Amino acid sequence: MTTVLAATRADDAMLKFDQQTTRYGSLTMLAGLVLSLLGPLYLLVAGQLEITGSMVWIAFLAVAATFGVFWIVEPLTYYPVLGSAAMYQAFMIGNISNKLLPAAIVAQSSINAKPGTRRGDIAAVMAICGAATVHLLSLLIFVGIFGTWLVSIIPADFVEVARTYILPSLLGAVLVQSIVAMKQRRTTIVAICVALLLQFVIVPLVPQVAMFATAAAVVASIAISWVVRERTNTESISVN
């Protein structure tokens, strides 16, 4: 009886948590959107820059053609790991793939919390809070206070090497950690094969698709993984 009551209270608490994060997360994102547009709107109205409506739409279409695919791919890619609450945090803070997502994956792996579960969602929220805190403190100390001094004593060759290899190393660590955490061997093989096929075969043959290679890899990996998925007995019976 005590276990049932505890489970019920936990369910009620998580339901309230989801409702509140959805409400305040939506309001926060809307406020961030308004604040981010205030500067450009002020320049457009009072800056006397002679910007016409057609110029704004052309610029928007140019940006959408380049980055619009990520408006769909990123939410679909990040949501299974982060959950709804952490998604609001991640898209408000930024640097998702190279900072927040690795922090969430490491936190979930550390406590053996499976992504997509309530425990995994809470771990992602706490990990993002910690990552953001460490990031702000690091900026304050190493950039705001000691930034100029550190740059003056670091050899130029070291900075160039770090700039060249830091992003691949981060993405490689995230990839390995995701494979270990998800434990989906078949899906992993499909995703790697699709990525290699696109990168080394299709894109060199048809360079025009390079802009959409990431979206194509995600969609193709999802579709092929669903087709070759391991079917349970119940699913097999229903199909027959």
Can you read off the two tokens belonging to residue 149? 């001094």
- Phi/psi of residue 62, nearest 5 degrees: -65, -45
Confidence (pLDDT) at 17: 82
Q: Which of 45-49, 69-73, 204-208 has the highest mean pLDDT?
A: 204-208
134 touches 146 (CB < 8 A): no
Q: For the ranges 97-101, 205-209, 233-237, which has the lowest average pLDDT?
A: 233-237
User: Given a cut of 50, is residue 239 above it in pLDDT?
Assistant: no
Question: What sign for the dihedral angle of Cα 221, 224, 230, 232?
Answer: positive
CA distance 94 to 101: 10
Confidence band for 238, pLDDT divided at 50, 70 and 90? very low
User: Comparing C-alpha atoms, which of 109, 128, 117, 82 is closest to residue 10?
Assistant: 117
User: Given a cut of 70, is residue 220 above it in pLDDT?
Assistant: yes
All structural domains of the chain with their residue ranges: 1-51, 67-183, 184-240
- Give, rounded to a whole angstrom, the gap between the first and last alpha carbons of the chain: 42
CA distances from 228 to 151, 190, 196 (A): 51, 9, 18
The H-or-E segment that residue 202 falls in is none
User: Given a cut of 60, is residue 87 above it in pLDDT?
Assistant: yes
User: In the predicted model, what is the mean pLDDT of residues 29-33?
Assistant: 90
Q: What does R_g of the chain's alpha carbons equal in angstroms?
A: 22
User: Given a cut of 80, is residue 83 above it in pLDDT?
Assistant: yes
User: In the predicted model, what is the mean pLDDT of residues 176-199?
Assistant: 84
**117-166 confidence digits (pLDDT tens):** 888 889 999 999 999 999 889 888 888 888 878 777 878 777 777 778 87
Q: Read off the pTM.
A: 0.62
